Amino acid sequence: MIQQINSRIRQIPNWALYLLGAVPVVWLYVQGFQNALGPDPVDVIEHRLGLWALWLLIAGLCISPIQRNTPLRLLKLRRPIGVMAFMYVLVHFLTWLVLDVQIPSQIWADIVKRPYVTVGMVAMLLLLPLALTSNDWSIRKLGSKWRQLHWLVYPAVILAAVHMILQAKGFQLEPMIYLTVVLVLVGVRRTPLYRRR
């Protein structure tokens, strides 16, 4: 059974995964244009895109522990998940930039004065080189440095979770749960047992 699942996963073409990953973005914007997202559709789109980005980043962090501790072989999914996570981050950012802020002079002011925007920008900038080097050519060109570069995903996903906490209105349990999950997934990589495996 597990072997069949692993075989099916290996057979999934990457283009199908990217196409599937784009569906929620398109659907969100369709709902927004149809006025089906309430009185502030831009805010809803921003929030849900950010949430999807965090979900995908967490899913990417889960792959290695699953690979090490179960017979499932999900490594093929890690790159598409990472690229789609950045796509959601980028569309989240562009939605904020184009539909929310709209005033160019206010963009820098928001980045500097609003901590949640500052943290979110730093997280996106950390993810940018990872997205740009998520291809076979970069892996061959960078060699061992590629793996070192991609360790940036850990501070980036922590900052993404902090970004969600900072932008929440009042105390909310959900963002705290996400941060806890992220810290556990990042922290487990520092344990000697994980390294030996």
Q: At residue 192, does pLDDT exceed 70?
A: no
Q: Number of C-alpha atoms within 13 angstroms, CB side, residue 134? A: 23
What is the rounded distance in angstroms from the CA atom of residue 183 to the CA atom of residue 197? 20
DSSP one-letter string for 144-189: HHHHHHGGGHHHHHHHHHHHHHHHSSS--HHHHHHHHHHHHHHHGG
169: confidence class by pLDDT, cuts 50, 70, 90: confident
Question: Residues 163-169: what's their mean pLDDT?
Answer: 89
Q: What are the distances in angstroms from CA 66 to CA 6, 79, 143?
A: 13, 15, 25
pLDDT tens track for 19-76: 999 999 999 999 999 989 988 999 999 999 999 999 999 999 999 888 888 888 888 8
Q: What are the distances in angstroms from CA 18 to CA 14, 51, 63, 83?
A: 6, 18, 18, 9
Domain ranges of the chain: 2-196
Residue of higher predicted confidence among 133 and 106: 133
pLDDT value, residue 132: 94
Q: At residue 195, does pLDDT exceed 70?
A: no
Q: At residue 164, does pLDDT exceed 90?
A: yes
pTM: 0.91
Which alpha helices (H) appear in the chain, and where do they start and end? 2-11, 14-33, 41-69, 75-94, 104-113, 115-132, 136-142, 144-149, 153-167, 173-187, 192-196
Place of tokens 């932008």: 167
Question: Residues 110-124: what's their mean pLDDT?
Answer: 91
